[in-house]
Amino acid sequence: MARIFASVINSLSLILTLLCTNVYAEPLTVIYSGNLDGELEPCGCTVQGDFGGIKRLASVLDQLRDQRPESVVLSSGGLITSERVIDRIKSEYILKGFAALEYDAIGMQWQDLSYGLEFATQFDLPWVLGNGAHTSIARVQPVTRSIDGRYIVLKVFSWLGPDDSPTPEMHADHVLVHADSEALLGEIRQADKQGVVTVLSTSLSLATVQKKFDLEAIDILLVRASYETYGEPRQVGKTLVLQPGSRGKRIARVDLETDGEGDIRQWEHKVISMPRSVPDAPRMNAWYDEYNAELEQDYLKRVEIRKQQESGAVNFSGEVSCKACHSVQHELWLRSEHASAYEHLESVNKAYDPNCVACHTVGFNKPGGFLDKLITPHLTDVQCESCHGPGNAHVQSAGRQPLVNRLWSKERMCAQCHVKNHSPSFSMDTYWPKIAH
């Protein structure tokens, strides 16, 4: 009788334990990606490479949201790149495309700032930068979902390593992040105490994150993307570590159960490939047509420039042409800061800002003037023609055709760029002796 009674008690205890265990179990689906790396669409040359692309991604996300409308969609960032001339247009349309995909939070990486902060933030994407020093980027992205009458709250943070900056020599006015990891960790701990699901996104490796952060308060950690394929998720303590794949070829879904404190109790992970059999989302057709139309216009513009260059129909010659007759003045110019003006612009990540480029190159936005570093490399920096005007006719006529700005005073020449807004400390008495010729 005692054995029967004990058996009944044990059975009831087990049932009660199971019931209590599941009372606070809250299901949550997180869909995540990272490091698109400028791949707006896949290369269709081979079947092996024909994976991914924003049009297919939109289709997959639409389907996943139909299945689980409460899904949370996250990206660890790294959306764009700036390696080639055409990347600026592509990057613009990647950001436009991602705005249509309606991600809940996107961690910011250094490459997302390739064309400057204003470029990255122009389409109202849900960027998050937990150690940001700029108020235009959210320090945390809260995400709320109602599931079966219960609310689940996530708070998404991100860490952008100051030491990984491509422009470490940027002066204080351009600093975008601070190095205080303890301050960010304090915010994460506070969120964890509130019982929310805490997420930290970063482009650092797991080993580096562990040296910098105590993972105890972090429920989900997105680490540096692996090349193309997703890494195997794993649990480190209470933290679920996820590693997205790069180049946008795949996306992953993880179905979670959390307890009443926001801690993850169990999870199931699935990587979803996007081969050519995945249809393009029709809602992205207008976006894609607009992208191709802009590529065409840009291509035709570059062809026309090439034609002008080959026919000699250009207005600006570049400093090498000036050197032939003005070697002394050219040597003085080489020793001046004018000769490295474009390099300085690149060092502060402003080589794609038209407001800056105009005064660090020759003839920008003028016929035959600077267009791009790869197409018109001979027109970078502040050169002779920046002050004296286009000199091709002067060169071709062996000096008989006078320069356009020949009657200008040196004050007027300098004032083209040295204005109060951009050069508040400018003084002709101080500056002119540095370049007097």
CA distance 77 to 125: 11
- Residue entry with tokens 């996250």: 74
CA distance 138 to 23: 34
Quote the pLDDT of residue 375. 81
38 has pLDDT over 60: yes
- Residue entry with tokens 């109202």: 124
CA distance 69 to 45: 35
10 has pLDDT over 90: no
Q: What is the DSSP string of 176-209?
A: -B---HHHHHHHHHHHHHTTPEEEEEESS-HHHH
21 has pLDDT over 80: no
CA distance 101 to 92: 15
**Fold identical between 24-290 and 312-435?**
no
Q: Choose between 7 and 380: higher pLDDT.
A: 380
353 has pLDDT over 90: no
Average pLDDT, whole number, for the chain?
Answer: 87
191 has pLDDT over 50: yes
Q: Residue 290's Cα: distance from chain center in Å?
A: 21
Other C-beta atoms closer than 10 Å to the C-beta of 184 total 22
Look up residue 338 and give its DSSP letter: G
368 has pLDDT over 80: yes
| pLDDT (average), residues 46-67 | 92
| pLDDT (average), residues 344-370 | 81
- pLDDT-above-70 percentage for the chain: 88
Residues in the chain: 437
Which structure tokens are listed for 122? 């122009």
313 has pLDDT over 60: yes
280 has pLDDT over 80: yes
Which structure tokens are listed for 265? 């109790």
- pLDDT-above-90 percentage for the chain: 61
Q: Domain 312-435 is classified in which CATH homologous superfamily?
A: Flavocytochrome C3; Chain A (1.10.1130.10)
Give the range with max mean pLDDT: 78-87, 228-237, 317-326. Answer: 228-237
pLDDT tens-digit profile of 330-342? Answer: 999 999 999 999 9
pLDDT tens-digit profile of 123-159? Answer: 999 999 999 887 789 999 999 998 888 888 999 999 9
Q: Residue 19's Cα: distance from chain center in Å?
A: 46
Coil, strand or helix at 27: strand
| pLDDT (average), residues 41-61 | 87
Quote the pLDDT of residue 175. 64
Residue 23 — very low, low, confident or very high, per pLDDT cuts 50/70/90? very low
- For 264, phi then psi, to 5°, come to -80, 125
Listed by start position, the domains of the chain span 24-290, 312-435
244 has pLDDT over 50: yes
- Residue entry with tokens 């613009």: 92
19 has pLDDT over 60: no
CA distance 41 to 35: 14
Residue 312 — very low, low, confident or very high, per pLDDT cuts 50/70/90? low
Residue 259 — very low, low, confident or very high, per pLDDT cuts 50/70/90? confident
408 has pLDDT over 70: yes
Of the ranges 220-234, 266-280, 342-356, 372-386, which one carries the lowest mean pLDDT score? Answer: 342-356
CB contact at 8 A, 245 and 229: yes
Per CATH, the architecture of 24-290 is what? 4-Layer Sandwich (3.60)
Residue 1 — very low, low, confident or very high, per pLDDT cuts 50/70/90? very low
Rounded alpha-carbon distances, angstroms, from residue 153 to 6, 133, 253, 263, 437: 42, 25, 18, 12, 67
Rounded alpha-carbon distances, angstroms, from residue 373 to 263, 307, 367: 51, 18, 16
